[in-house]
Amino acid sequence: MENSPMLSIYPNLKVLVWNNCSGRTTEKTLIRKTEE
């Protein structure tokens, strides 16, 4: 999963999937990732 080319192209998708799996708030994390 880590080496999936789709996740490399869409890092935010990986964040969404990770947050959904861990039950966290995706929107807040996406905002943080965008601001970094």
| Percent of the chain clearing pLDDT 90 (strictly above) | 0
Q: What is the pLDDT of residue 18?
A: 65
| Selected residue with higher pLDDT from 12 and 22 | 12
17-28 tens-digit pLDDT: 665 655 555 566
Q: Nearest 5°: CA angle at 28, between 15 and 12?
A: 25
Interatomic CA distance for residues 21 and 16, integer angstroms: 9
| Selected residue with higher pLDDT from 13 and 21 | 13
- Which residues touch 35 (CB under 8 Å, ≥6 apart)? none
